[in-house]
């Protein structure tokens, strides 16, 4: 009994000592959510402002998943959160207390941070612009603040914020430094500006690469479909046309040559026994194509479908000429 009292007294003394020496967390954290597609000098002015009046400034970059929320140029080039983050890293290199995060749900991220990552004594500044309804999106944030955590929504106004990201997107289909320079923060060096221009110039390459991958998939599917007797000629004709168009629009000589060769192979494949040439093009698919051919041959035999080696049955005895399908 006496031992238990001594133990309890000991722990009480320890707890009192800890509370006396415990310093409250008086940190000020600024949160700046936004789209930033692309980031411009107005965005930087806002980030710099909140960086100067806080211990930590967290920039929250939205990463929308729905098509209607994705920011695109007039030509359809997609500006993603990756480009936004890379550019903001260049802008904020000299701001040591700035952190960049990316999320598909910025409002939820703010609410979760308030509820789970704050401690009594902290002050949270929500930095928003005066444009649109930015402030209204986060009206409920204060409800998620634990007891002892101060929350304030702070609207930032600056003439640089009159710059619109949508205006900048109008020139990003073929950007030049002269066109985008007026939208960039003044503190950037020539090297920094060149890096930003390079990032924005690669938007086209990303779109072209994705389009190229999609066309490759479509053409491979048409190659396989071209091996089927009943629809083969139509599929090979479509592939010939696609390869021709890709050759006409290709910028690199090697790329143009490749599509011209593929166009020729697809054209030859429209002829009886022409699929032999296609197999050269589809070497990487040799095994699945061979398996597919066996299945097609078996199906043709069972269904008594006409072979792709299309002789007109009535003319076989009197003519040796090939008859192309209608």
CATH of the domain at 162: 3.40.50.620
What is the domain count for the chain? 2
Among candidate residues 167, 186, 192, the one with its CA nearest the CA of residue 45: 186
Residue pLDDT, tens place only, 201-212: 988 655 555 677
The answer on 274 and 169 residing in a single domain is no
Q: What is the mean pLDDT of the chain?
A: 78
Measured in degrees and rounded to the nearest 5, phi and psi for residue 231 equal -120, 5
Whether 184 maps to a domain, the answer reads yes
Using alpha carbons, list the distances in angstroms from residue 235 to 77, 178, 219, 231, 241.
30, 47, 9, 6, 10
pLDDT of residue 186: 94
pLDDT of residue 307: 43
Residue 168 pLDDT greater than 70, yes or no: yes
The answer on 188 and 253 residing in a single domain is no
Residue 17 pLDDT greater than 80, yes or no: no
Whether 5 maps to a domain, the answer reads no
Length of the chain: 326
Residue 105 pLDDT greater than 60, yes or no: yes
Distance of CA 252 to the CA centre of its chain: 25
pLDDT of residue 280: 60
Is this prediction's pTM over 0.75?
Answer: no
Measured in degrees and rounded to the nearest 5, phi and psi for residue 65 equal -105, -25
The answer on 232 and 199 residing in a single domain is no
Whether 274 maps to a domain, the answer reads yes
The answer on 174 and 62 residing in a single domain is yes
pLDDT of residue 321: 34
pLDDT of residue 49: 95
Using alpha carbons, list the distances in angstroms from residue 187 to 154, 183, 318.
25, 12, 85
């Amino acid at each position: 009994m006496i031992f238990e009292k001594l133990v309890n007294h000991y722990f009480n003394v320890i707890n009192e000592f800890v509370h006396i020496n415990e310093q409250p967390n008086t940190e000020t954290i600024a949160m700046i959510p936004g789209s930033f597609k692309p980031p411009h000098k107005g965005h930087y002015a806002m980030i710099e402002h909140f960086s100067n009046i806080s211990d930590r400034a967290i920039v929250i970059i939205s990463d929308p998943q729905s098509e209607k929320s994705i920011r695109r140029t007039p030509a359809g080039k997609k500006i993603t959160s990756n480009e936004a983050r890379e550019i903001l890293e260049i802008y904020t290199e000299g701001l040591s207390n700035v952190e960049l995060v990316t999320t598909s749900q910025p409002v939820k991220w703010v609410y979760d941070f308030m509820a789970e990552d704050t401690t009594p004594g902290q002050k949270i500044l929500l930095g928003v612009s005066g444009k649109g309804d930015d402030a209204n999106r986060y009206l409920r944030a204060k409800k998620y603040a634990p007891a002892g955590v101060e929350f304030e929504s702070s609207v930032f106004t600056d003439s640089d914020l009159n710059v619109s990201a949508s205006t900048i997107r109008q020139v990003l289909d073929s950007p030049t430094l002269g066109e985008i320079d007026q939208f960039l923060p003044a503190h950037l060096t020539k090297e920094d500006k060149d890096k930003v221009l390079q990032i924005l110039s690669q938007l086209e390459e990303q779109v072209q690469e994705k389009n190229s991958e999609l066309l490759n998939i479509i053409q491979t599917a048409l190659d396989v479909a071209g091996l089927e007797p009943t629809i083969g000629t139509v599929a090979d004709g479509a592939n010939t046309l696609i390869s021709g168009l890709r050759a006409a629009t290709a910028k690199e000589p090697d790329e143009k040559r490749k599509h011209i060769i593929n166009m020729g192979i697809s054209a030859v494949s429209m002829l009886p026994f022409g699929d032999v040439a296609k197999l050269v093009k589809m070497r990487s698919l040799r095994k699945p194509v061979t398996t597919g051919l066996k299945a097609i041959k078996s199906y043709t035999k069972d269904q008594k479908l006409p072979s792709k080696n299309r002789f007109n049955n009535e003319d076989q005895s009197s003519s040796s000429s090939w008859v192309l399908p209608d």
